[in-house]
Amino acid sequence: MRIGLLNGGGDCPGLNAVTHGVVGAAAQLGWEVVGFRDGFEGLLPPGDFKILDPEKARGIIRQGGTILGTTNHGHFSSKHGSGEVARIPEELMNQARSTLTNLGVDALICVGGDGTLTTALQFSEEGFPIIGVPKTIDNDLKATAMTFGFDSATQTVVDALDRLQTTASSHKRVMILEVMGRHAGWIALYGGIGGGANVILLPEIPFRFEEVARVIREREISGLHSTLIVVAEGAAPEGGVQMIEAASVDGEYRLGGIGDRVAAELQRITGKDSRSCTLGHLQRGGSPTSFDRVLGTRFGVHAVKLIEQGKFGRMVSYQRYHVGSVTIAEAVSQLNLVDPEGEVVETARSVGISFGD
Ligand code: F6P
């Protein structure tokens, strides 16, 4: 048995832990693993790949990034702009399939987010044995309670807030930290609670500048002269739209810029010195946390088990502390967004965190 493995979309801490899990479990079955470079691009003839034996996977569990490389654009992008699905041209599908057949690959594990899994679904619909593994720091896939990478990204937000707090306090400033997450506010919510933010602004809860300014003034009156605000890159004021930092030729766009806008508006309204800091790709880099190392390994091992059981067209999923699986079709159909009335938001409100609403 020969199985293929690829990483698609943006990288995230824990990708190598999945590879470590796949290679380890496959070796125990006597299977060989073919690792394709740069996501689906590695499937273009004649195939860009390396054979992954346990020797090559040694020690990678602690490494950030991906030893296979990845891309979030290229020939096999099937999601554009605000999520419209495009069919991968038949010609490309045939080329990829012939690479897999020529290399004798019996099944392919695709590790990725929404976009990669949408492409994986098209391969699966055309009859190729595919297993999906969910990956994203954004934690925005409905079919899994948690994706690996999210915990590491959140830890980076918490570390940044710990540092921003000391300088905010020294200068009696309002400090705004813009974090990733695209249309989901999970990183901002968990990072903000863990890092002791006073205000968290999420895509799921439209905010009002006046309300955030009121919180700052109220803190001022009670002798608290600095305020820590976390804003998700996809957050927008009531009646406003998300801020786009850049659009690319294939219709994909990058969110960004809301942190600077919030700082400027709050300084204008309150007269208080305000600064913004964008955490950016620091959230995607570096070593995975212990949680992500373990979850990634479990996902990798389970993906191999699904192949062994012949359960193709399925995505590994984490539910109620157990790793199981759902259909890939189910996985890509719904985004996992923060519930504004949910328990985590309620918890934040209970400890005095404002959402600016
Ligand atoms: O989906 C992961 C993510 O990091 C988002 O949070 C962010 O909006 C986007 O990718 C950034 O993508 P890029 O690496 O192309 O700048």
Length of the chain: 357
**DSSP-derived 3-state class of residue 340:** coil
Q: Find the mean pLDDT for residues 199-221.
A: 98
Fold of the 151-285 domain: Rossmann fold (3.40.50)
Looking at the chain, the domain(s) classified CATH 3.40.50.450 span 2-148+288-331
Q: Which CATH class is domain 2-148+288-331?
A: alpha beta
Cβ–ligand 1 contact at 79 (below 6 Å): no
Q: What is the per-residue pLDDT across 150-178, written as a single tens digit (0 to 9) for each?
A: 999 999 999 999 999 999 999 999 999 99
Work out the mean pLDDT of the chain and round it to a whole number: 95
- Give the pLDDT band (50/70/90) at residue 319: very high
Q: What is the per-residue pLDDT across 233-254, written as a single tens digit (0 to 9) for each?
A: 999 999 999 999 887 656 678 9
Cα 323 from Cα 233, distance rounded (Å) = 30
Share of the chain above pLDDT 70, in %: 97
pLDDT-wise least confident of 3-17, 69-83, 103-117, 272-286: 69-83
**Which ranges constitute the DSSP H helices of the chain?**
15-29, 54-57, 90-102, 114-125, 150-171, 186-194, 209-221, 258-270, 290-308, 328-332, 343-350
Side chain identity at 246, as an amino acid letter? A
- Give the pLDDT band (50/70/90) at residue 279: very high
Cβ–ligand 1 contact at 163 (below 6 Å): no
Cα 172 from Cα 270, distance rounded (Å) = 13
Cβ–ligand 1 contact at 135 (below 6 Å): no
Spell out the residues 6+ positions from residue 311 whose beta carbon is closer than 8 angstroms to its own: 131, 325
Q: Which of 38, 114, 138, 151 is catalytic?
A: 138
Active site residue 138: yes
pTM (two decimals): 0.96
- Give the pLDDT band (50/70/90) at residue 126: very high
